[in-house]
Structure 1
Amino acid sequence: MSKTEKEFGEMNLKEAQYYLNRELSWLEFNKRVLYESEDPRTPLLERLKFSGIFSSNLDEFFMVRVSTLKEQVEAKVSQLTPDGRTPQGQLEEIEKTLRPLITKQHEDFEQELRPQLNQVGIHLLSYTDLKEQQIEYLGNYFKQQIFPVLTPLAVDPGHPFPKMANLSLNLAVAVVNPHNGQENFARVKVPTDLLPRFIPLPSHLWEQPQSEGVWVGVLLEEVIADNLSSLFAGMKIKEFCVFRLTRDADFPVQEDEADDLLIAIQQEISKRHFQGFTVRLEIQKSASSFIKEMLMRGLNIGRDDVYEIAGLLNLKDLMFFLSTPLPELKDPPWIPVLPPRLRQVHKYQTALENNGMELAQPEDVFAVIRQGDLLVHHPYESFRDSVELFITQAADDPQVLAIKMTLYRTSGDSPIIKALIRAAQNRKQVAVLVELKARFDEESNINWAKQLEEAGVHVVYGLVGLKTHTKTVLVVRKEEQEIRRYVHIGTGNYNSKTAKLYTDVGILSCCEELGEDLTDLFNYLTGFSQQQSYRKLLVAPVSLRPRLISLIERESELAQQGKSAQITAKMNSLVDPQLIQALYQASMAGVKIQLIVRGICCLRPGLEGVSENIEVISIIGRYLEHSRIFYFHNDRDSEIFIGSADWMPRNLDRRVEVVTPVEAPNLKQQLKEMLDIFWSDNRQAWELQSDGSYHQRHPQNEDPERNAQLIFMEKATQSIDFSRLTSNQKSEC
């Protein structure tokens, strides 16, 4: 039942009761990831992958989020979160939530996954399982391959507590001097950066018949532990245990004080490994109080920061076993299909590359775009044969005058970087904004920036105080007597590797107004322009937030007028209080709201009188849901947008983001069908409850199982061409 504006005004939608905590919501997301490692419907080796992702996610959570909260506690920050929690209160809730989750993860590996690995021929042995010949082989392996690179570090008045790298795996060793009985502490780094963590045994030493084995071996740290006497000659080894530490890695760069941003970030990266304070110590549960006390004192941490582990540490290393030749225990391989409208282009390109012969009436990607806007959906449609093709053809096309691009993250052997270098060598104007502040990709981006600069590309490093997160390409081409601009605007990074793992959408267009908008945007990014208005694009931090709020408010007004109103929005995270309040008001006005939020969601659905018309789901599956799509029904005259921005304060206020309208009727229909498919998922979808917990959907009664990601694969395989244009379907541009 809708409420009047007067009733809206009587409610204080800023009250804490209307918000879920950001950090606890993220933990709920990671719990859903962990569930995939426990779900027997998930192929066995994929279960290992999800367990590894859970661990990797936690590493980053501690390095960034927990470290920030600890700094706030240290600085006596008293400001409450929208849900009414203090920094200390959040840390306590995080610890309370995490400990049982971590215990569950390790119990599941030891009791479920490890025995199942044994059954399929993957045997990760303990030293207690080894026979004499196997131990002898590993002893020789230790002497030849491991011993020369080890450096034991003692702790005593003459040897200070050693500096240890972030996320490093180590052995803590207690040794006793037999002459005076004194007990001492030493640390030995497990050199997983130099040697494999999983040491294979040769097949002739397998206990199992070779036909029943796929991989047999032991852990590197166990080989070192069995040979500690070689490192501490003349001393008695009293005990040892494995430990791992996590440091603060969210370093602040004083951009406004830096003469050269690249140099400033390089200096900060060098500090990340050793100089950040310790936020977590993971240690084997069997460790004595002596070792625990030595580590806590040396690392300057309290008991709340210690996580005792029963079993292997750093389970993300288990993803190593995805390389074993057991395809039946993995997801079936998926080869992205060629977008239907680009098939002729690919055919021509392939023929040209293979034999240098040109086909009759060659067609390039620009000719296809001129026929009408093209929507691409990765990884179901090929990133290489669409977005990369667009950039590589632009690099080699003699009619192309300029290429401008934003790079937030890219792959290590990026064909796009090579194409940009080639374009510069072909005397085109090439300008690239490389975001040096892309967290944990700073070093890689610095290397790319240097290579691009050396090739003659105009490189800028971003704006002071803002991260440039937008995913945009502008190609300027001379065609007969006119200049035409072609654009790509997407939701995902220009990264050929993650394009196979993340779901994203993007649009290729030669709409003149979009080209003009991107020209203005790049002038803002590379020069001193202070552009405040755009023709079609929604740009953060300038116009995105107010425009989104106005779109939501329009649906509210339509609902109050008795007209049809609906909002469906897909994103990674929903945190921004202003947008949440606007959604609450829309719900109270009677707007039906469907939110597909993969990760953090601070909105509480289903609250009586506030959010009864809001439903929220999260889809966790084979691919990381990364696309951002926003649909506003507008009384059947719908508007739909795609872009790089989540609904978070950082995206709306502290990043350069671009969201574009999609106006071609057939592409709008395609995007709406995508949203409907996501919403119908009853296999990988989880429904958010008003208390912040999630319940996984299951087929009801006789309903068939609907897995959105599988449906998209099936549609791609069937080569359904959603983009086929008729004379009345072209964009107004």
Structure 2
Amino acid sequence: MSAEIVESHDAAPEEPFDVEPPYVPDDEALAAVEKYDDRFLDRELSWLRFNQRVLELAEDRDLPLLERVRFLAIFTSNLDEFFMVRVAGLKRRIAAGLAVRAASGLMPRDVLHHIWTTTRELSERQAHLFRDEIVPALGDHGIELVRWDDLDREEQKQCKRMFKDRIFPVLTPLAVDPAHPFPYISGLSLNLAVLIRNPKTGKEHFARVKVPPIFSRFVPLGNERFVPLEDVIGEHLRRLFPGMDILEVHTFRVTRNEDLEVEEDDAENLLAALEKELLRRRFGPPVRLEVEESISPGVLELLKEELGVREDEVFHLPGPLDLRGLHGIADIAREELKYPAFVPTTHYRLAEVESAAPVDVFKAARRHDVLLHHPYDSFATSVQRFIEQAAADPHVLAIKQTLYRTSGDSPIIDALIDAAEAGKQVLVIVEIKARFDEQANIRWARKLEQAGCHVVYGLVGLKTHCKLAMVVRDEPDGIRRYTHIGTGNYNPKTSRMYEDLGLITTDERIGEDVAHLFNNLSGWSRNASYDELLVAPDSVRLGLVEQIHQEISHHLAGRPARIRLKANSVVDEAVIDALYLASQAGVPVQLLVRGICSLRPGVPGLSENIEVRSVLGRFLEHSRVFRFENGGEPVAWIGSADMMHRNLDRRVEVLVRLPGEESLAEIDRVLDIAFDPETDAWLLDSDGTWTRNHGPVHLQEKLIEGQRRRRQST
């Protein structure tokens, strides 16, 4: 980092909205945007294009083979969640008569039709990629995924012993007859549909056998050979049905509506209501049935009738089904088939105070603001160390933190418990409604309460999604607040895979704002005005739209103007329309969007000045950045909010304005690489198509290399 850059506490950016006169679009300007009634891409179809980009990574022969295997598994998990939440929601709205036209102009039934067509194509594409390319490529490297008929006699004997000793005691065959109704099929479970016949009576029966998820999906045979678990079970069904003839065995899998609907009458009853809803989730209606393409028509008709699934919800695929289990194959210790090893390092500002003892985060933060960029900067020696140091420091009086998702063995949870047991005031805002992590969050909430932490669940009707931690410390010159504001969860495990930003600062104005916000979340305070923060649902959308309008003012006045946004999703119509206005006025706009984008770039008269890119790779691009040229006095915000209705209207989200030029320079360094025409990325066309440019520069590898050079120089 250049020595000429001013340190963070020596300079503060100009107020972001202080140029007069402010730009306010008139009716004519608004009409110039609104006349394009097809200006929004459909969000659901845009998401499917995102998962298509994940699949394209699995198809990329330039990537290490086991990383391609990993992307196949990620594609499956992504699509599962899409059906459990988005497709289930569409079906629910249609059934309830709430099928209103989307901003894209499509009705829910039209969207569903496109979803069935697109997901079926993508699922078949994935299955054929796995069978016809990935499996042979693995075999070329000595990793063999085989079916039962490919096993030699010794391997079959090995599987027989394993079935007898370990698998058989766990299995529970469920027959269907007048005394045994059709069993409940849990969502995402892998199952065998078995048709059996009584040789004495000649009568046929249907039975279901669940493939136990507690065993490895692909059974290791030794010498890096694996066989699907369902093949092992299928070959030994006679032990489950002695004396019966096994006529047919088919694999199937059901996806159910697993989105939660919790009525919050008051926060006191939230835990009980959520636990009840979690039990109800198990019995959500089916939204998809996956079957192997070899299934017989009779068995398929039985499954459709008993599950209440329509023909267009059935996916006929080459086996094996459920490729989430490929994570186990990707974990094989064959480092030459993976990305080169990468170890995060301590941020250089924290390393300045590092010695034989652990990093002193407080000492470093008093000297400089610290803008962290994970996973390149170590989470363990920065954010985790920040909380652990605070818990152990006798001068720390209080710790306040939000928790949305965290790992099962979180050292941050342990540190908060240690702090409470040491007599410190510990406030934890736990969002127990974090989708698919609800059960874990309930456990942690109770554990924290039992340790003496003050645990609250935020504001009724709003998810607390912001990433905040504040430490109050008694120092010789008075009370000082140390604040961390991030874009990602306080999760040591995902911090090694997710790209995120975080600011550790002692800036008094930021500390004052964060203190007010914690009071809002834990008490009856309702301060909606902040100096250095934008806080949803009150001010994030409004603040960003005003900042976009301000860029238009700068451009019209001949001052420097440019907008650069980085987000997971850009869907909110008000923000998109403001960006269209900026483009029409001549302001260059660049968006880096990992997932969904409803904005159409490159439409003549509407968005010629807007460029939309997407970068996917070994790390999940997760940070949100909002950078404005601001007439030559650049400002940048980072935080937890995506440009989606749920983030801006139904969540507590926080964006913080970065103090000082050093942090801005770091943001610019990353964005300059991301938007370099030579950088490998997908580019969005006005029709919603994403095309990969296969540039020679790879953003994440470039940042890894920059980290290595910085480490060598220090």
- Specify if TM > 0.5: yes
* Residue 710 of structure 2 is aligned to residue 714 of structure 1: no
Map of 1:269 onto structure 2: 278
SS at match of 1:562: coil
Residues 434-583 of structure 1 correspond to what in structure 2 (within 5 A)?
434-583=430-579
Shift of 1:182: 2.6
Q: Percent identity?
A: 49
Q: State the alpha-carbon separation in 1 of the partners of residues 438 and 407 from structure 2.
A: 13
Q: Relative to 1, partners in 2 of residues 1:133 and 1:6: Cα closer, same or farther, differing over 3 Å?
A: closer
* Residue 351 of structure 2 is aligned to residue 330 of structure 1: no
The answer for unaligned runs of 5 or more in structure 2 is 1-22
Q: Relative to 1, partners in 2 of residues 1:511 and 1:14: Cα closer, same or farther, differing over 3 Å?
A: farther
Map of 1:115 onto structure 2: 136
- CA deviations on 1:699-725 (whole Å, 9 max, x unpaired) are 4xxxxx211101111111112799x9x
Structure 1 stretch displaced more, 675-684 or 326-335: 675-684
SS at match of 1:601: coil
Q: Relative to 1, partners in 2 of residues 1:6 and 1:436: Cα closer, same or farther, differing over 3 Å?
A: closer
SS at match of 1:18: coil
* Residue 168 of structure 2 is aligned to residue 147 of structure 1: yes
SS at match of 2:687: coil
Map of 2:220 onto structure 1: 200
SS at match of 2:200: coil
Residues 130-529 of structure 1 correspond to what in structure 2 (within 5 A)?
130-193=151-214, 195-201=215-221, 203=222, 214-256=223-265, 259-273=268-282, 275-350=283-358, 364-529=360-525
Shift of 1:133: 3.1
SS at match of 2:646: helix
- CA deviations on 1:533-552 (whole Å, 9 max, x unpaired) are 11211000111111101000
Q: State the alpha-carbon separation in 1 of the partners of residues 639 and 273 from structure 2.
A: 30
- CA deviations on 1:642-673 (whole Å, 9 max, x unpaired) are 11101111111100011000121121111111
Q: Relative to 1, partners in 2 of residues 1:258 and 1:531: Cα closer, same or farther, differing over 3 Å?
A: closer
Map of 1:93 onto structure 2: 114
Q: Relative to 1, partners in 2 of residues 1:581 and 1:601: Cα closer, same or farther, differing over 3 Å?
A: same
Structure 1 stretch displaced more, 645-654 or 363-372: 363-372
Q: Relative to 1, partners in 2 of residues 1:126 and 1:716: Cα closer, same or farther, differing over 3 Å?
A: same
Q: Relative to 1, partners in 2 of residues 1:452 and 1:345: Cα closer, same or farther, differing over 3 Å?
A: farther
1:171 maps to a residue whose letter is L
Residues 166 and 272, structure 1, Cα contact 8 Å, conserved in 2? no
2:710 maps to a residue whose letter is S
SS at match of 1:240: strand
Q: State the alpha-carbon separation in 2 of the partners of residues 449 and 237 from structure 1.
A: 49
1:27 maps to a residue whose letter is L
2:156 maps to a residue whose letter is I
Shift of 1:461: 1.6
Q: State the alpha-carbon separation in 2 of the partners of residues 489 and 259 from structure 1.
A: 28
SS at match of 1:690: coil
Q: State the alpha-carbon separation in 2 of the partners of residues 289 and 257 from structure 1.
A: 51
* Residue 83 of structure 2 is aligned to residue 62 of structure 1: yes
Q: State the alpha-carbon separation in 2 of the partners of residues 307 and 453 from structure 1.
A: 46
Q: State the alpha-carbon separation in 2 of the partners of residues 79 and 35 from structure 1.
A: 33
Tell me the TM-score normalized by structure 2.
Answer: 0.94
From 636, 640, 646, the counterpart of 2:642:
646
Q: State the alpha-carbon separation in 1 of the partners of residues 495 and 342 from structure 2.
A: 12
Residues 22 and 602, structure 1, Cα contact 8 Å, conserved in 2? yes
Residues 198 and 217, structure 1, Cα contact 8 Å, conserved in 2? yes
Residues 680 and 708, structure 1, Cα contact 8 Å, conserved in 2? no
1:649 maps to a residue whose letter is H
Shift of 1:12: 5.0
- CA deviations on 1:435-489 (whole Å, 9 max, x unpaired) are 0010011111111111111111100122211000000111111112511111000
Shift of 1:6: 6.5
The answer for unaligned runs of 5 or more in structure 1 is 204-213, 351-362, 700-704, 725-733
Q: State the alpha-carbon separation in 2 of the partners of residues 395 and 369 from structure 1.
A: 17
Residues 611-626 of structure 1 correspond to what in structure 2 (within 5 A)?
611-626=607-622
Q: State the alpha-carbon separation in 1 of the partners of residues 711 and 562 from structure 2.
A: 27
Residues 469 and 657, structure 1, Cα contact 8 Å, conserved in 2? yes
2:349 maps to a residue whose letter is R
From 653, 656, 659, the counterpart of 2:652:
656
Residues 257 and 284, structure 2, Cα contact 8 Å, conserved in 1? yes
Residues 83 and 288, structure 2, Cα contact 8 Å, conserved in 1? yes
Residues 216 and 328, structure 2, Cα contact 8 Å, conserved in 1? no
From 29, 34, 37, the counterpart of 2:55:
34
Shift of 1:687: 0.3
Q: State the alpha-carbon separation in 2 of the partners of residues 120 and 138 from structure 1.
A: 24
2:370 maps to a residue whose letter is L
- CA deviations on 1:161-198 (whole Å, 9 max, x unpaired) are 101211111000111222333322110111122x2222
Q: State the alpha-carbon separation in 1 of the partners of residues 690 and 461 from structure 2.
A: 36
Q: State the alpha-carbon separation in 2 of the partners of residues 62 and 14 from structure 1.
A: 34
Residues 635 and 657, structure 2, Cα contact 8 Å, conserved in 1? yes
Q: State the alpha-carbon separation in 2 of the partners of residues 10 and 70 from structure 1.
A: 34
2:367 maps to a residue whose letter is Q
Map of 2:9 onto structure 1: none
Structure 1 stretch displaced more, 248-257 or 65-74: 248-257
Q: Relative to 1, partners in 2 of residues 1:172 and 1:400: Cα closer, same or farther, differing over 3 Å?
A: same
Residues 43 and 331, structure 1, Cα contact 8 Å, conserved in 2? yes
Map of 1:604 onto structure 2: 600
Q: State the alpha-carbon separation in 2 of the partners of residues 188 and 247 from structure 1.
A: 18
SS at match of 1:438: coil
2:55 maps to a residue whose letter is L
Q: Which runs of 4+ in 1 moved over 3 A?
A: 2-7, 681-684
1:136 maps to a residue whose letter is K
Q: State the alpha-carbon separation in 2 of the partners of residues 12 and 628 from structure 1.
A: 26
Residues 567 and 625, structure 2, Cα contact 8 Å, conserved in 1? yes
Map of 1:685 onto structure 2: 681
SS at match of 1:320: helix
**How many residues end up aligned between the 2 structures?**
692
Q: State the alpha-carbon separation in 2 of the partners of residues 4 and 156 from structure 1.
A: 69
Map of 2:12 onto structure 1: none
